[in-house]
Structure 1
Amino acid sequence: MSFELECPVDFKKVNENKVRLTALWVLVLGVLVFFTKSWLIAAFLLIDFALRAFDFGKYSLLNLLSDFTVTTFKISTKPIDQAPKLFAAKIGFAFSIAILATILTDNLTATLYITAVLIFFAFLESALGFCAGCYVYTFYKKIFK
């Protein structure tokens, strides 16, 4: 039995280098949440993921910071399809809801585990360019046929 990976496609292109920088900012903020359990940082991540997940990325402060970084350091453009990144942002949005909820309910063990997973996936995207969204999407499609 072979595993065939499926990714959502919308034929709109985004700059992969910008996406990876945004993931780096998520990684940094995730580490801050992990160590501080700050509901303010978690709420910021929630809002930022919501903007990116529901196609309002032009208002995302993390995207704006990544745009500034790409422009300032003249980082090249590497086009990639936007759909897998939107799907991954929706997953990040769900994780952010869970992180904020666990912080607000003082379930700090759950906060640490959920935040660690978010940090891990942000690391994979930012450092390695590996988007786990396609894998999650493939399983999602199999479960909800």
Structure 2
Amino acid sequence: MLRFDIAPVCSNAYRLQALMSMTIAAIYLFTPYKWVAIFLALGGFIRGFVSPHKCLSYKLFASITRTLKLSKMQNAGSKMFADKIACVAGTAMFVTWLLDSSIGMIPGWAILIFAFLDVTTGFCAACWAYLAYYKMKGA
């Protein structure tokens, strides 16, 4: 479902956001600093459930892309769906760390892999799934 109640977002700013998510996942997976997952959860919550335009990191990345004249606007719906997934994954990572369980490594690896794909190729798997779902639903 396209979101016309929220202003379009910059897809290149979201690629920088994916780089940040990839970095958080790498820190979670390869260092003892598992608590960083809270940043993934909170950022995903603000961008996915509130509005991307209220998130400080998105504002920063959007201003960088605007300054570099690399802004490429798109509808916010699919990116907000991706952020909801990041919120759930980050929450799972953080809670399982608090519970001293290693199961949080699974969403950590998923975020790392899919964020890497987004950063390097521009392919957002969650955005693709979002659009595919609404195409199937409409058919």
TM-score, with structure 1 as normaliser: 0.78
Shift of 1:60: 2.1
Q: 1:23 aligns with which of 18, 23, 39?
A: 18
Q: 2:107 aligns with which of 99, 109, 114?
A: 114
Q: Which runs of 4+ in 1 moved over 6 A?
A: none
Shift of 1:100: 0.7
Shift of 1:116: 0.5
Q: 1:124 to 1:14 in 2, by over 3 A?
A: same
Q: 2:33 aligns with which of 29, 33, 38?
A: 38
Q: 2:87 aligns with which of 76, 93, 111?
A: 93
Residues 36-115 of structure 1 correspond to what in structure 2 (within 5 A)? 36-72=31-67, 74-108=68-102, 110-115=103-108
Shift of 1:75: 3.9
Post-superposition CA distance 1:126-145 (Å, at most 9, x none): 22111112444346997xxx
Q: 2:26 and 2:39 mapped to 1: Cα distance?
A: 14
Report the number of matched residues: 134
Structure having the higher helix fraction is 2
Partner in structure 1 of residue 118 of structure 2: 125
Post-superposition CA distance 1:99-118 (Å, at most 9, x none): 1111111112x122220101
User: Which moves more between the two structures, 52-61 or 131-140?
Assistant: 131-140
Listed as ranges, the gaps of 5+ residues in structure 1 are: 1-7
TM-score, with structure 2 as normaliser: 0.81
Work out which structure has the larger RCO, using CA pairs closer than 8 Å and 6 or more positions apart in sequence. Answer: 1
Listed as ranges, the gaps of 5+ residues in structure 2 are: none
Tell me, what secondary structure is at the counterpart of 2:9? strand
User: Which moves more between the two structures, 115-124 or 38-47?
Assistant: 38-47
Shift of 1:68: 4.3
Tell me, what secondary structure is at the counterpart of 1:10? coil
